[in-house]
Structure 1
């Protein structure tokens, strides 16, 4: 009897060992041209079976990517943005992706850290929308020497610090920081981004901006500051934006435009100031806007327009003035071009 029990216990031990070892094996599945292996929410290995430049790793409920998980994968596009919850990443997590150009990490829980993407020297576009990011540590984007598009919208970033974009590729063209909680921009924060073409700071919590906020951005063409709580536009705030073509300041709390606020914007073509709290258009408000074509001043509290207020906007074609306390604008007295279309009511 004891011999039988001993034999039975040995059989049970062998079976349990086998089951235990089987449980430790990762689950692998083919995703188009790739074999993707994961274990308990961790991506452990990705190998390539045939050429395909797009790699979609979705619906795996991933929590982490192990270092060296990618085995010389030649994909140029990597999508990790559908039904994952990735929060654990290290610099080595992206090793083995020598040709990667686009990385989509939207809808995860990734926190930024120093040199996180330093393995991705060919990356051109990085999207981290909806990740609950609440800070941008120094050198978070260091090593991204080819990056041109950076999407950081819909996060919880409270401020842009002096080192937020340290060692980021100076050739970056487009930067999205919209729909965050940004209430402060440190002077010179963007100074290293000398090629920047478009900057989104809309839908944040800005009440004011320092005069050197946009220092170095002399190639910027589009600036989105709409849907904040900005109360005034100081005379020196925009002086560095000599190449700016479109400025969006609608839906703020602006009651004051300092004389010469737009003085240096000789290339500006469109200006939106609708949905603010302006009450008067002074004679020197739009000085320097010699190429302005579209001006939106609708939905303010404007009840007074100084003589010659629009004398500088010689190229103006459309003026939107509905939603104010003005029923008529004399073009000659106000300085408006005769061919301009004025919208006073909708």
Structure 2
């Protein structure tokens, strides 16, 4: 009974919550999804593997057979031998393929039945020990062997002896912990080029383990547990070009650990957080004549390393504590083309810190708290990335001399003012990102008359005014994003704002109702609607409070290939019949057309637009309630209310139906019902609790009565001094000692006196009023 009552109470609370949530959803706007395109990640580049995801699935464009199919090539076994959890392909230019996924359930396939397979992928099997029998008959012909995520913990010595043409070996995602100098013996004769050991548990590698791999080009050891790189670890890797040691536990690199890799081009040591700056500073790079790329992100460095070769082209230092960048920090690397120093807590940059970097093309300094653009940047710079700093002002001198600049990203700063000459000297600037700043007014021309600007992002700025001068030289702009300006704000823009941007192909006004209505009004009022944004390919008007659309917008919507109208309250009335019909007949044109729903009228509220019968829609021409609409108001083409119509003018109610009163009454009724039901269950539950407590006390008093009848001994004979529990009455007086069943030694006279005192207290409790006095009693014999 108590369980039923508690369930009823929970139900009433849920009913109250549902009523509140329904009311809030009806009267509050949805959130805004931002952006036409996701911003590409530019501040960090991880180790790039040369094989694609298609190779890992085993398709590779070959003629695929899943399980038993018609007939196989002569180089493959009979088709009936292809297990249901495998993919078998006929021989092509790359050879025959066998790809099996065990899903940690299916048995390891018998490979001897598959003949001459040149590409083999076996993943997600349970193979703790890799033995020669597991690869029987394949080592002589296999060119690619991929065994990822199989739980392999050990590899038998000399397992790969006999390989003649193996070029790629993938053992990633297993449980290998040790590599010996016999593990890869035999692979050298086949000319192995790619070896992937990432995602294992390798903590130790015997010197000389790679000595036989003279042709190896790429070695991936990321996500292991290496703690030290000894001098002879990479001995024999004379052709190695790519070495990935990311996400290990490396603390020490011996001075000549890398000296045996003369052709090394790409070195990744990122995320070795225990790496000692002193240890790295002793590493000898003088023999690495080909080194072009070095990633030392999150390695605990406190200064730019000075022992790399002067010919290096790309250095990544993200997540180190560099603090100060002096003139001497970078002058040793005049050939540097890419420099990444994101999240380095940089507090000071010397004015001439970048003067010597005459080849620098890309500079990342995101998330450093910089208060201004670094001075004296080299003229060769093509990309500048300063997101998430504290820059407030952009001046002409900050960008002086950057004639080759192509991309500037300044999102997430506090920019309020941009001087007119800031970007005037950048004829090749193509991308400018000013998202999430504090720009309110853009009145001056920022770009030169001849420019290459093609993408501009002004989203998340409190824009109030965008002047004609600002748009003067943006005729070549192709992508414009102005997402989530203040929803209630009226943005002052020219009447022909969008006509001044004839080359736009992508326009995102999501969450900016004022600009969305400006666009629709401009198109509707234009005598030649085909001349407004003639090249537009993608239009986003998400969450712009749009309800009705003028009929003369049909031609415009019909020529835009991709349109986003999500999170608007579309009115399913006859006036919108053309739009609803267009959505139903061309769902691919509208982003997630299946999720668009009607907001009015009431009988269609919540219905999906694609399921509404367009021919039966009602007209919205009804008498106007005096409280529903001001007599000198009307709605613009996008559904926004304006004040230009006189009282004598005919008015059409085109907004959301006036159902506020009905919703308020429904909400109050639900609230009252939930409160009454909750009160009822609380009263019943409290009565049940009182009855249960009285029954429990009666049971305790009965136990006490039976205990007091034992006149010969006030307490059980079996007691343990180490596990005694004191029980108290409601007046907090001690009345009993509970014990366990183990034997108890003879009591002292003082303890016997305590027992007699407790017995007298118990008798007093029972004789007076047991039910009103006792609170807890436990007797353990």
Question: TM-score if structure 2 supplies the norm length?
Answer: 0.35
Q: What secondary structure sits across from 1:220 in the alignment?
A: coil
* In structure 1, C-alpha distance between the alignment counterparts of 2:350 and 2:232, rounded to whole Å: 36
Unpaired runs of at least 5, structure 1: 1-28, 38-47
Deviation at 1:243, TM superposition (A): 0.9
Residue of 292, 296, 311 corresponding to 1:249: 296
* In structure 2, C-alpha distance between the alignment counterparts of 1:134 and 1:61, rounded to whole Å: 25
Q: Is the 8 A contact 1:161 1:186 kept in 2?
A: no
Question: In the superposition, relative to structure 1, how do residues 156 and 300 fare at CA in structure 2: closer, same or farther (>3 Å)?
Answer: same
Deviation at 1:208, TM superposition (A): 3.4
* In structure 1, C-alpha distance between the alignment counterparts of 2:356 and 2:232, rounded to whole Å: 30
Deviation at 1:153, TM superposition (A): 0.5
RMSD over aligned Cα atoms: 3.0
Residue of 233, 236, 244 corresponding to 1:189: 233
Q: Is the 8 A contact 1:194 1:217 kept in 2?
A: yes
Q: What secondary structure sits across from 1:202 in the alignment?
A: coil
* In structure 1, C-alpha distance between the alignment counterparts of 2:385 and 2:143, rounded to whole Å: 46
Residue 86 of structure 1: aligned partner: 127
Residue 319 of structure 1: aligned partner: 363
Q: Is the 8 A contact 2:322 2:344 kept in 1?
A: yes
Question: In the superposition, relative to structure 1, how do residues 292 and 286 fare at CA in structure 2: closer, same or farther (>3 Å)?
Answer: same
Residue 286 of structure 1: aligned partner: 330
Q: Is the 8 A contact 1:53 1:76 kept in 2?
A: yes
Greater gyration radius: 2
Question: In the superposition, relative to structure 1, how do residues 279 and 228 fare at CA in structure 2: closer, same or farther (>3 Å)?
Answer: same
Q: Is the 8 A contact 1:95 1:119 kept in 2?
A: no
Deviations 1:271-305 (A, max 9, x none): 11011111222433334423211101121122233
- Summarize the alignment of residues 154-165 of structure 1 with structure 2, pairs less than 5 Å apart: 154-165=199-210
Residue 551 of structure 2: aligned partner: none
Question: In the superposition, relative to structure 1, how do residues 61 and 71 fare at CA in structure 2: closer, same or farther (>3 Å)?
Answer: closer
Residue 155 of structure 2: aligned partner: 112
* In structure 1, C-alpha distance between the alignment counterparts of 2:208 and 2:262, rounded to whole Å: 20
Question: In the superposition, relative to structure 1, how do residues 261 and 305 fare at CA in structure 2: closer, same or farther (>3 Å)?
Answer: farther
Q: Which fold has the larger relative contact order, with Cα–Cα distance below 8 Å and residues 6 or more apart in sequence?
A: 1
Q: What secondary structure sits across from 1:331 in the alignment?
A: coil
* In structure 1, C-alpha distance between the alignment counterparts of 2:286 and 2:304, rounded to whole Å: 14
Alignment of 1:96 with 2:141, yes or no, is no
Alignment of 1:173 with 2:217, yes or no, is yes
Deviations 1:206-259 (A, max 9, x none): 23322212112221111111112134240544333221222111122111445x
Q: What secondary structure sits across from 1:70 in the alignment?
A: helix
Question: TM-score if structure 1 supplies the norm length?
Answer: 0.76
- Summarize the alignment of residues 319-338 of structure 1 with structure 2, pairs less than 5 Å apart: 319-328=363-372, 331-332=375-376, 336-338=377-379
* In structure 2, C-alpha distance between the alignment counterparts of 1:257 and 1:235, rounded to whole Å: 14
Q: Which is richer in strand?
A: 1
* In structure 2, C-alpha distance between the alignment counterparts of 1:323 and 1:58, rounded to whole Å: 43
Residue of 144, 159, 184 corresponding to 2:187: 144
Q: Is the 8 A contact 2:182 2:209 kept in 1?
A: yes
